[in-house]
Structure formats: C-alpha cells, structure tokens
Amino acid sequence: MKNEAAHTFIADILVVDDIRENLRLLSKMLVAQGYHVRPVSSGARAISAIQDQYPDLILLDIIMPGMDGYEVCRQLQADESTRDIPIIFISALNETFDKVKAFAVGGRDYISKPFNEKEVMARVKTHLSLHFTQQSLKTEIAERKRVEHTLRQYNQDLALVNRMGQALQACQVEQDTYEVITDTCIQLFPGSSGQLLISRQSDTELESVAHWGDASAALQPIHAADFVYPDTPHAVVYPDAGQTVSQFGYSQQAQRFYVPVTSQNKLLAVLSIALEHEETENLADDLQHSIKSKHLLIIEMTEHYALALVNLRLREMLRIESIHDPLTGLYNRRHMEASLEREIHRAQRHQKPVAILMLDIDHFKIFNDTYGHKAGDAVLKEVGELLNASCRGEDIACRYGGEEFLLILPNAMLENTLKRAERLLQTVRQHHVSYQKKNLAITASMGMAAYPEHGSDIQELVGAADAALYQAKEQGRDQVVLAV
C-alpha cells in the first residue's frame, strides 16, 4: 500500500527562466520523467506561483530582468514557510564567485548552462529525495513533540486529579469538597466557567453550591430530573440533546458539558462546564476539544468525587445517628451529657445561667400495660415532638432514657423557665395521643434545676433535677418542682 501511494505521488517542480527555449526544454525533460511542471518566466511570477502552491523543488535561473534568481532565493529563505523548498540554480554564470554566492543565498545546488539532461535529472532526483526525507523527518519530529506535549499535559493533569483525591480525603464535611472540586476544574479546564450542583437525598432539585469563571455563563439552572438513568450505569440522557451519552456529554443547546457524579445509579452531583466565552469562537472549540480529550481524567475525577461524597455522607449519617435517639429523633443521653458539660463551661465563662428540665411521663408503666408497648412508643414520639416544638434556637432537647426527657435551656432565668415548664406540662396535658382510633390522655411531671443555684457540674445539676422530679411525683404528679 505504501509503495503504491509513493508511486502515485507526483512531485511538483517550478521552473523559472526568462528564456522561452530553456523553459520549454527543461519542462519537456521533466514532464517526460513524470514530474508535474509549472514553468514561469520571471522572478516576480515565481514568487506568486510559489505563494499559490508550494512546489517540491525549484529550478531557478539567475540572470533575469527585474527580480533576479538570487533575490527570489533570498525572499524564499526569509520566509519560514518557504525556507525548506530546495532550489537548484541553473545559470550560464560560470565563475566560482557566482556559484559560491548561489550557495550563500540559500541554493542547494548549481548546474551550469548549457546543461546536460542526465545531470539535471540526477540532481533533481537527489534533491527531491533529500527534500522528502527531510519533510518526513520534520513531520515525525513534530508528531513526537505533540505526543510528548500531550503526555506531559496528561501527567500533569493526572497529578492534579491525584492531588484532588488526597485533598478530598482530608475533607471533614461535604462543604469542604466544593472548593477542592472548583479549584481542580479551574486548573483542568483553563478558560472555562462552570458550577457544581449537589443532589441531596430524595431531592429532585439540584442545589448550586459553588461556581468558577464568569458567573453569568456558569450559573444556569438545571434539574436532577433532566438526568435519567437508562440500563447502562453512569449513562445519562440529555433531554435537549435527545441522545444517550456515556459518562458525560456535551449539550449543544445549553453549550456546556454536563458531568454527572454518580454512585450505584444514584445522582450525587453534577458538574456543568460552560464553554461560552467573550473572546473567540475558537476558544470555545479548543475548550470543547480539550474537555473531550480529557475524557478519562474526567471519569477518574468523578469517581474520586463520588467515593468522597458517599464516604462523607455516610460519615455524616453515622455522626447524626450516634447522637440521636432513633425513636423520638431527639438527641440521646451521650449528646446531652457532652452538651450540658459545654453549656455549664460556657455559662461559667460568661457568668450566665443554664437551666435543665427533667420530664417524666406519669404512670407510663400502667399506660404500657393497658394499651401495649407500641402505644407507649407512640406517646414517647409525640412527647418528643412537643418538646422539640417548644424549644428555642439554643435549647437542646434530649431523651434521657426510658420515658424520661431532659431539656437544656442556656441563658434561661429561673422564673421564666418555671413558667415555660408549666406551659409545657399544660401542652402535654391537653395533647391527646391518637393511637388506633383512640385518643389517649397523658400527663407528665418535671424537676427543674439551674446553674449556678443548684450545682456547678453535670452530676450535681442532674441529681438536683432528678430529686425535684421525684418530689413532683410524690406531690401528686402533673406538676413542676424547682430543686432546692
């Protein structure tokens, strides 16, 4: 195939001579050897013929009216794009001086007139062969440089994505990852704009959490519902593109790339990379090409990010679970103890009060025995909701254990807290728990204690509230008692 291609290639030779007879003779000889020949009769015409199409070789007369052969050669040498075209001077000037000058201005060879046909052909053949070898070497070198550059760029980008992976591992919460991702995109796709959108669990909307580049280009609303998952994992269908794109794809209509970050067919986040740019159309084309060529890196990047998001969300879920009571959703005893300790320290530092209310449902055992454990659970849940609803921003409601609850009320004055406690008991009293079409009435008792009046650490405060609660039970229940 290669030989065949070489066979069909016809070298293009420009012959420049002001004497018609020479032109005719040289052209005839060259055409007879199968070359494509363009004869021209002056230096100026030679320059314009070369600009029309670069020849593979030039046979150039020296003495011509107007622009002589030396000048033609000088001009071609001065231009990067024509410098490598081989020039063979053919001249009647036979002095050594003329020949040296011909080489000095850039000629590759020199043939004296009257020329010998065989000599001309041999020299033409040799210079064409040298020229083509040189050209293919140049192409090879350029290709190697291009490959080297691509490899270097790829290694740099890979190192960047690896650094991103390490930075993601160091993130403690999901919010920390947003900057890591946008920073990576800025470096990976220079000149682009874009935004990172997060898909929350069970949410159909995507929340834009960070952007880079030109805000007006970057911030374009998109919806999680636009991302539909067919059978192929990671594949995505763009409604406007009307086609399935594997991993990520370009939306012609929106003029941007959408890069979904997924795990087990669930959408976790979307990177929207905009290519619109004020400067030139070309830049957008270059960017589009650059992003397409970074396909593997983008996949690597989204896989890192998906893993980081899944880990952080799992960690956050475990953290939330570890401090909450699963039945009521209130904080658990462990979190209560840590919070109360912190609040007492804060109160000591700022010389402010902290009150605690310990609440216990009255006759809960009888309730359980009468209506069953599930009804008891429903009561615990609803009391938990009532407590939560009665909390102000800084209050902390916890399930202390069993049917006991504890409220931590920072900055609460004794008198106000007593009033709040009574209102809360009234709310519990008036609230009827509906369970299996029955309306079940309950009451609760409370013990109240406060820092600094009733203790200066958790044990003392909780002990005082517990004793006050015992007192409330003793005095007939459904009431609040202040510790002594």
Verify binding: residue 363, ligand GTP, rule CB under 6 A: yes
Verify binding: residue 466, ligand GTP, rule CB under 6 A: no
Contact 98, 72 (CB under 8 A): no
Distance CA(239)–CA(227), nearest Å, equals 8
Amino acid letter at 11?
A: A
Choosing from 66, 221, 239, 402, the residue that interacts with ligand GTP (CB under 6 A) is: 402
Distance CA(454)–CA(459), nearest Å, equals 11
Choosing from 244, 368, 411, 471, the residue that interacts with ligand GTP (CB under 6 A) is: 368
Minimum distance between the CB of residue 374 and ligand GTP, rounded to whole angstroms? 7
Q: Which is nearer to ligand GTP, 352 or 477 (CB)?
A: 477
Verify binding: residue 194, ligand GTP, rule CB under 6 A: no
Q: Contact region for ligand GTP (CB under 6 A) — 44-52, 218-226, 282-290, 358-366? A: 358-366
Q: Which is nearer to ligand GTP, 325 or 343 (CB)?
A: 325
C-beta neighbour count of 382 within 10 angstroms: 19
Distance CA(57)–CA(10), nearest Å, equals 12
Q: Which is nearer to ligand GTP, 70 or 405 (CB)?
A: 405
Minimum distance between the CB of residue 376 and ligand GTP, rounded to whole angstroms? 2
Phi–psi pair at 374, nearest 5 degrees: -65, -40
Q: Which is nearer to ligand GTP, 265 or 370 (CB)?
A: 370
Choosing from 365, 392, 423, 432, the residue that interacts with ligand GTP (CB under 6 A) is: 365
Say whether the peptide bond before residue 55 is cis (omega within 30 degrees of 0). Answer: no
Choosing from 179, 377, 453, 460, the residue that interacts with ligand GTP (CB under 6 A) is: 377
Choosing from 69, 376, 447, 455, the residue that interacts with ligand GTP (CB under 6 A) is: 376
Name the strand (E) or helix (H) holding 361: strand 354-361
Token couple for 409: 């009320």
Contact 227, 267 (CB under 8 A): yes
Q: Which residue is nearest to ligand GTP (CB)?
A: 376
Q: Going along 156-242, which residue ranges are E strands?
A: 193-199, 206-212, 236-238
Q: Which is nearer to ligand GTP, 163 or 363 (CB)?
A: 363
Closest by CA to 356, choosing from 392, 307, 397, 319, is 397
Minimum distance between the CB of residue 252 and ligand GTP, rounded to whole angstroms? 59
Q: Which is nearer to ligand GTP, 342 or 365 (CB)?
A: 365
Q: Contact region for ligand GTP (CB under 6 A) — 46-54, 165-173, 224-232, 362-370? A: 362-370
Contacts with ligand GTP by CB under 6 A: the residue count is 15
Minimum distance between the CB of residue 338 and ligand GTP, rounded to whole angstroms? 22
Contact 483, 366 (CB under 8 A): no
Distance CA(185)–CA(7), nearest Å, equals 50
Helix 69-78 and helix 43-52: axis angle, to 10°? 30
Verify binding: residue 75, ligand GTP, rule CB under 6 A: no
State the Cα angle at 323 between 322 and 329, rounded to 5°. Answer: 110
Contact 148, 31 (CB under 8 A): no
DSSP for 199-260, please give it.
Answer: EPTT-SBEEEEEEES-HHHH----BGGG-B--SSTT-EEETTTTEEESS-EEETTTTEEEEE
Minimum distance between the CB of residue 401 and ligand GTP, rounded to whole angstroms? 8
Verify binding: residue 118, ligand GTP, rule CB under 6 A: no
Verify binding: residue 360, ligand GTP, rule CB under 6 A: yes
Choosing from 77, 473, 478, 479, the residue that interacts with ligand GTP (CB under 6 A) is: 473
Site residues (vs ligand GTP, CB under 6 A): 360-365, 368, 373, 376-377, 380, 402-403, 473, 477
